[in-house]
Chains A and B, each alone.
Chain A
Amino acid sequence: MQVYLDNAATTRVDKRVIQAMKPYYSKLYANASSIHLLGQRNNLDLMEAKERISKIIGGEARSIYFTSSATESNNMIVKGVALANRGGKRNKIIISEMEHPCVRESAHSLKEEGFKIEYIKPNKKGIITKAELEKIIDDKTLLVSVMMVNNEIGTINNVKQLAKLAHDHGAYFHTDAVQAVPYLEIDIKKMGIDMLSLSAHKFNGPKGVGLAYIDSKIKIKPLIVGGGQEEGLRAGTYNLPGIIGMTKALELAYNERDEYIKRVKELRDYLWKEMNKEISDLKLNGDLAKRVPANLNVMFYSIEGEAILIDLSRQGVSVSTGSACSATDLKGSYVLKSIGLDKNYLNSNVRFSLGKYNTKEEIDYTIKCLKKTVKRLRAFSPIK
């Protein structure tokens, strides 16, 4: 049996999404920037896609820019806003300690441009609180970037509250919302979000398409220049099949949201309950209630995460780990470090992220395999 429990990494594309994309490869392949009728026709579909997306996430359609990934969107926003405002009185950028590497690295790269980077610490439950942001925000802050949902532990941040605090100090607010679809309702205007990033492949859409929402009042320096696409903010031929796929996937995700959330939460809770019943000495990382219903991040005492992952993998169960051994730089998860997990436990963690296609049979099989794996590895662990 193959059980895919790594949906926070990427997801299977919904067949209906593939159907929606197909014509744009075979018949409607014209360049959406071309002047001829075929090009104009596709340009209308592109504009319509933005309208359709804005109906779901709120905000204005014209503030939506398509990119190749959320990584690109986050680079575009964090670096672009900073570089457009370089030399002004606001030279501070605040990000949370739990941001995805693409936000962290983008922010780091701005140090040499004269920006000061400061970090908001999450609490022990894995939440970024208003109180922590309040400690470091000031009138020199240009941008605050806090993710809506953390990718490793699935915890949810109250971005509305954080955005308001940023605005009170005259700063812009950006949120990486990649892991939030469809678990949270996104309303850009109501939440006070200035900028937001999404990635299609995280919600059963195609890989290679991302989205950056950038409020029209914000000055931004483009990173990719060329043919002037996306109002000059992001050059490169429009990936129309991808854009149509992303739009369709987002619509499906929100149209079928209630039923999906109910189902995935049941499965996740069942997995957690059975795990506790069958396996001793484990601990959940991050708050159970304030997290998306598809995520579990569990510490298995005295055994190493990568060994668990490989052992599960050869039984057909795909999971993920933040263990140092799984990283090229041999550093343990900075997210788990930031929520204060003891260093002795840092390499014993496994992330289970469920998705649209998981079944109860798969969860039962996972428990069976996990029980075997943990027993085998613990039998020869020197840590008692």
Chain B
Amino acid sequence: MALNYTKKTMDNFLKPKNIGQMKKADGYAQIGNMVCGDQLDFFLKVENGKIKDVKFLSFGCASNIATASVMTEKVKGMTIEEAKKYPWQKVSAELGGLPSQKQHCSVMAVQGLQKAIADYEERQKDIKETPKKKTKTTKAKRVKTKTTKAKPKATKKAKTTKKLR
């Protein structure tokens, strides 16, 4: 099967922006696509309700890496509310379009970001509600259960995208 990646997709694959880990992230999420097997990890740094920094790791194809790269560039500096609503169509459009079977990569990137924001908001709630109880162990546990819960949701959405093409 032929793949016609745009120059911008190739550039973002070859020199991805915002790639790497982040120590002491304010929000973190891992997202996997059960259909194609790809995985993305997102790390957020939030200041005054704005995304100050965002980083990602990828086990995925060229377009998986490129979509996460271009999306992180775009949402950096946005308010949490703006970033939450950032649509996957824009990610794909930013790259000058993606091959039809690769559209789901942009959906996955956006979902991963939303999940990391949800984790950030959850942590904020914890800080407000029970600041004393917040320990390292409970935090780790919470993140773990969230990951498993969200997985089927990711698959569902991926399937819908498949139908779209």
- Residues of A at the B interface (CB closer than 8 Å) are 302-307, 310-311, 314, 323-328, 330, 332, 343, 346-347, 380-383
| Residue tally, chain B, CB below 8 Å to A | 30
- Name B80-112 residues within 8 Å CB distance of A: 101, 104
| 8 Å CB contact of A383 from B1, B35, B59 | B59
The answer to the question of B67 belonging to the interface, with a C-beta cut-off of 8 Å to chain A, is no
Residues of A within 8 A of B65 (CB): 307
> Beyond A310-B13, A332-B37, is A380–B5 a contact (Cβ under 8 Å)?
no
Residues of A within 8 A of B30 (CB): 382
| 8 Å CB contact of A310 from B5, B19, B20, B57 | B5
> Beyond A326-B1, A330-B101, A382-B30, is A307–B60 a contact (Cβ under 8 Å)?
yes
Residues of A within 8 A of B39 (CB): 382-383
Nearest residue, chain A, Cβ from B100: A328
The answer to the question of B41 belonging to the interface, with a C-beta cut-off of 8 Å to chain A, is yes
Tell me the complex Cα distance, A134–B80, Å.
63
The answer to the question of B127 belonging to the interface, with a C-beta cut-off of 8 Å to chain A, is no
Tell me the complex Cα distance, A304–B60, Å.
5
Q: Mark B117-160, 1 if CB is under 8 A from A, else 0.
A: 00000000000000000000000000000000000000000000
| 8 Å CB contact of A306 from B14, B20, B62, B104 | B62
Q: CB distance A306 to B61 under 8 Å?
A: yes
Report whether over half of chain A's contact residues are helix, strand or loop; otherwise say mixed: loop
CB distance from A52 to the nearest CB of B (A): 36
- Residues of B at the A interface (CB closer than 8 Å) are 1, 3, 5, 10, 13-14, 16, 19-20, 30, 35-41, 56-65, 101, 104, 162
Residues of B within 8 A of A324 (CB): 35-37
Nearest residue, chain A, Cβ from B63: A325
Q: CB distance A330 to B57 under 8 Å?
A: no
A-B contact count (CB 8 A): 74
Nearest residue, chain B, Cβ from A384: B57
| 8 Å CB contact of A325 from B5, B19, B64 | B64
Q: CB distance B13 to A304 under 8 Å?
A: no
| 8 Å CB contact of B37 from A311, A328, A347, A381 | A347
Q: CB distance B62 to A310 under 8 Å?
A: yes
User: What 4 new A-B contacts, CB under 8 Å, besides A328-B101, A383-B39?
Assistant: A304-B60, A323-B61, A325-B64, A347-B36
Q: CB distance B59 to A381 under 8 Å?
A: yes
Q: CB distance B1 to A327 under 8 Å?
A: yes
Q: CB distance B1 to A328 under 8 Å?
A: yes
Nearest residue, chain A, Cβ from B16: A380
Tell me the complex Cα distance, A153–B41, Å.
32
Nearest residue, chain A, Cβ from B162: A330
Residues of A within 8 A of B35 (CB): 324, 330
Q: CB distance A314 to B14 under 8 Å?
A: yes
**Listed A/B pairs (27) with beta-carbon separation below 8 Å:** A303-B59, A307-B13, A307-B61, A307-B64, A310-B10, A310-B61, A311-B13, A311-B62, A323-B61, A324-B36, A325-B36, A325-B37, A325-B38, A325-B60, A326-B3, A330-B35, A330-B36, A330-B101, A330-B104, A343-B37, A380-B16, A380-B20, A380-B56, A382-B30, A382-B39, A382-B57, A382-B59
**4 tightest CB-CB pairs across the interface, nearest first?**
A325-B61, A306-B61, A382-B57, A382-B41
Q: CB distance A304 to B64 under 8 Å?
A: yes
